[in-house]
Amino acid sequence: MKLLPVRFLLLAASATIPALCQSSTKSNLVSTGTATAAPTTTASAAPASTTAPTKPAETAAPPVSAGALRSDIAHQDRVIKNQIDTQQALLKKNQELAKQAAKLDEKNKKLADKNKKLEAKNKAFNDEKQRNEAQNADLARKHDAIKAAEKPIATQ
């Protein structure tokens, strides 16, 4: 489902890129013809014979430009296909990473639950330890009291 917008984008791009290339090349042809005519007129002090050879050069330029356009379109097509391949590879990599992240998240949740259980056990252990220490302190006092009570009896 995620590839559908990408396909629409590519379809729109494939329709517009050749149109953009043709329009920009036509404007380049006109400016190129003017650029070649302008230096010749300024350099040769505007004789009529120098402007006449540039017109046949302008008519000869479009077939060369058509080939250049085709090669440019082929080059752009290769570039776009490479970009698509790269994006698809990135998409696959992102999907794999998302799966790994989901697995890690699940492991993290299990570890968090295990950690809570261990903390509860630790708290229970500490509570029992405190009770035992309190009982030991009571037993030690009772033992001391018994020892203290036995000494006077033994002396009598």
Domain region containing 105: 3-110
| 8 A C-beta contact, residue 36 and residue 51 | no
Task: Give yes or no for residue 28 having a pLDDT over 50.
Answer: no
pLDDT digits (tens, 9 = 90+) for 36-69: 444 444 444 444 445 545 555 555 544 557 888 8
Instruction: Please indicate, yes or no, if residue 88 is contained in any of the structural domains.
Output: yes
State what percent of residues in the chain have pLDDT above 70.
Answer: 63
Instruction: Please indicate, yes or no, if residue 74 is contained in any of the structural domains.
Output: yes
State what percent of residues in the chain have pLDDT above 90.
Answer: 47
Label residue 6 by pLDDT band (50, 70, 90): confident
Instruction: Please indicate, yes or no, if residue 124 is contained in any of the structural domains.
Output: no
Residue 49's contacts (CB-CB under 8 Å, 6 or more residues apart) are none
Q: Could you tell me the pTM of the whole model?
A: 0.40
Instruction: Please indicate, yes or no, if residue 136 is contained in any of the structural domains.
Output: no
Q: Cα separation of 147 and 135, whole Å?
A: 18
